[in-house]
Amino acid sequence: MVDRPGMIAPEIAETYGVSIHTVTKSWAQHPAWPAPAGKRGRYKEYEAANVADFIRDHVERQAVTLEPERLYTAQDLEAAGVGVKAGTIRADLARGRWPEPDDTDNGVNRWYGATVTRALDRRRGYRRASPA
């Protein structure tokens, strides 16, 4: 919810739960980032509604609906468009940031759709899929 007309970088960072570095060095460098509406102190000020539109269109990832009882490989998940590459899933698994596989038959790691949905819900920037 947007409750003020203009926002500066520290307010944007606080509102969206990211660092000020993310706002100024990543988002504000994107070609679609809104133009400043003015200046407040040493910071450029942006229309809050325009910032919210940018976040919705370029930062938040729309969750895909996975079949809860189907088993997916990392490659299947990438192909399904979950927003995480197969290599990232494997790396995160090795680092303890991805759930253990639900099935490892024939040496292939596979996860139930329900397991993946829970894992993605914990990752920043994912929206819940609308109920079908």
When pLDDT is averaged across residues 54-75 and rounded to a whole number, the result is: 86
pLDDT digits (tens, 9 = 90+) for 13-40: 999 888 999 999 999 999 999 999 999 9
| Domain assignment present for 132 | no
When pLDDT is averaged across residues 48-56 and rounded to a whole number, the result is: 90
Are 97 and 55 found together in one domain?
Answer: no
pLDDT, mean over the chain: 87
Are 16 and 41 found together in one domain?
Answer: yes
Distance CA 56, CA 103 (A): 35
| Domain assignment present for 1 | no
Are 23 and 51 found together in one domain?
Answer: yes
Are 49 and 22 found together in one domain?
Answer: yes
**51: domain range?**
6-59
Are 91 and 118 found together in one domain?
Answer: yes
| Domain assignment present for 129 | no
| Residues 6 or more apart whose Cβ sits within 8 Å of residue 62 | 127, 129
- What pTM was estimated for this model as a whole? 0.56
Q: Is the pLDDT of residue 131 over 90?
A: no
